[in-house]
A and B are shown apart, each in its own frame.
Chain A
């Protein structure tokens, strides 16, 4: 921290999620290219509140070239919006949740009133186990090609060894998530399977069985952020962002306590999560055991409904799943199902980087 006081995390100017839309998440969309996947979602996110692209002052997107398999994949994706006349626009090589953060920062400044944020996560074109290995230290770790499931399994093992969880807990989380997903029309994996049955799954990488892993998903999502009066004009019940922060931990897995998430706890504190109770939490936990770590880091008790959408275990479009958590939380506030909610996004191996967004209704 600098000597001067920092306002990090708290809202100065009321900004809300005015609209949210996502595609139906699927294992592989082999019919549409990225532009064709995005267009209907962008049209829906505007159409739901009766606005057009001309009503937003800024556009920010999130995606990863390595997932798509070509450099500059975000460039043509912009054709889904039709940025003419030219607009202020930016892109992050991160989950759309961070694109939303960038837009929120600009809205905090007060020069603009509305922004479109979108992201596309197409996980199907390549082999994720190979691609995600390239996120690791390029000199000492990536050349060994450790796959993301094995790294998550190391974390799950540490959690069990620390006495913080059991394989039964993982199965219970997976069972609950996919049962909740039955009421989510955009979910990819939804079923009502008792935890006891799930425990009969084979191990993929011990101690993680099939059910504890996220599906591979193609999916896109979009949010319109709006400030003050504009938000009230466009949306009958906007979901106001009252706190927003993100933090990163060290990259070296050997230097981290994999059974806790200090960066999530820090971001939650900065975002003022503990200022009041929340009704629901949308947590980006791609692997079942990670929900346990994140619930603890966020300090949530058992009165909070965790991942009513089914979470990342029901659909995990990489680069979109984080933004979708914020959208799902906001939707529940707008529909009156929740008064206050927390949404979370993660990035990097074993929850290295985490973002926390606190939302409230009127």
Chain B
């Protein structure tokens, strides 16, 4: 029978669970909206910096080195080069892809910045730096202004790009 005058013998409380759920409405902004609208059309839209001429995809609205708005839209190719990659073997909450999978930096032809993409239709141990890949889109009636419009990238059969052509993007 516990002593009614003290709770000492009940021991320390070591955990207190406070569930926190917060909902946010994000704003993509002008430049990212152009990119998202491009995805809805089944194409990659980048933007060029008026100062340095580099093409960003997706652009967040500014050239990160010049600090000026990127305003000129540039339609980019559907193909690109894997500059580098890793093979993800870690399960985590919200993961929708079966592990292991390839997470690669893809440099689209015509762009000056790589972005992260999922590589499929190739065993994880056969991916290489320099591999040429193409985007695989969802069916035309499934296209939305989101990255979900791009199912993944896959090897397109072209010979690997020469290291010299992409080493400055590493």
Please give the residue numbers on chain A whose beta carbons come within 8 Å of chain B beta carbons, in ascending order.
Answer: 29-33, 35-36, 39, 42, 53, 66, 68-70, 76, 78-84, 124-127, 130-131, 134, 138-139, 142-143
Binds A, one of B22-30, B107-115, B139-147: B22-30
Chain A positions within 8 Å of B68 at CB level: 39, 82
Q: How far is the CA of A30 from the CA of B26 in the complex (A)?
A: 8
Q: How far is the CA of A35 from the CA of B30 in the complex (A)?
A: 10
How many pairs of A and B residues are in contact by the CB < 8 Å rule? 81
Chain B positions within 8 Å of A80 at CB level: 62, 67
| A33 and B25 within 8 A (CB) | no
Residue of A nearest to B29 (CB): A33
Interface string of B55-67 (1 = CB under 8 A from A): 0000011111111
| A35 and B24 within 8 A (CB) | no
CB of B78 within 8 Å of the partner chain: no
Given contacts A69-B26, A84-B65, A127-B22, 12 further A-B contacts (CB under 8 A): A32-B27, A33-B28, A36-B30, A36-B61, A39-B68, A42-B67, A68-B24, A76-B60, A78-B64, A84-B64, A125-B25, A127-B23
| A143 and B67 within 8 A (CB) | no
| A131 and B22 within 8 A (CB) | yes
Residue of B nearest to A84 (CB): B65
Q: How far is the CA of A137 from the CA of B61 in the complex (A)?
A: 38
* Given known A-B contacts A36-B31, A39-B67, A138-B18, A125 and B26 have beta carbons under 8 A apart: yes
Please give the residue numbers on chain B whose beta carbons come within 8 Å of chain A beta carbons, in ascending order.
Answer: 16, 18, 20, 22-32, 60-69
**Minimum distance in angstroms from B19 CB to a CB of chain A:** 9
**Minimum distance in angstroms from B55 CB to a CB of chain A:** 15
Residue of A nearest to B31 (CB): A36
Chain B positions within 8 Å of A126 at CB level: 22-25
| A35 and B60 within 8 A (CB) | yes
Chain B positions within 8 Å of A124 at CB level: 25
| B18 and A143 within 8 A (CB) | yes
* Given known A-B contacts A80-B67, A139-B16, A39 and B30 have beta carbons under 8 A apart: no
Chain B positions within 8 Å of A79 at CB level: 60, 62-64, 67
Residue of A nearest to B25 (CB): A125
* Given known A-B contacts A31-B30, A125-B24, A125-B27, A39 and B69 have beta carbons under 8 A apart: yes
Q: How far is the CA of A222 from the CA of B20 in the complex (A)?
A: 33
Residue of B nearest to A33 (CB): B29
**A to B CB contacts below 8 Å, 30 in the list:** A29-B27, A30-B27, A32-B61, A33-B29, A33-B32, A35-B61, A35-B62, A36-B29, A36-B62, A39-B61, A39-B68, A42-B67, A66-B22, A76-B60, A79-B60, A79-B62, A79-B64, A80-B62, A82-B63, A82-B64, A82-B67, A82-B68, A83-B65, A84-B65, A124-B25, A125-B27, A126-B23, A126-B24, A126-B25, A131-B22
Q: How far is the CA of A125 from the CA of B66 in the complex (A)?
A: 28
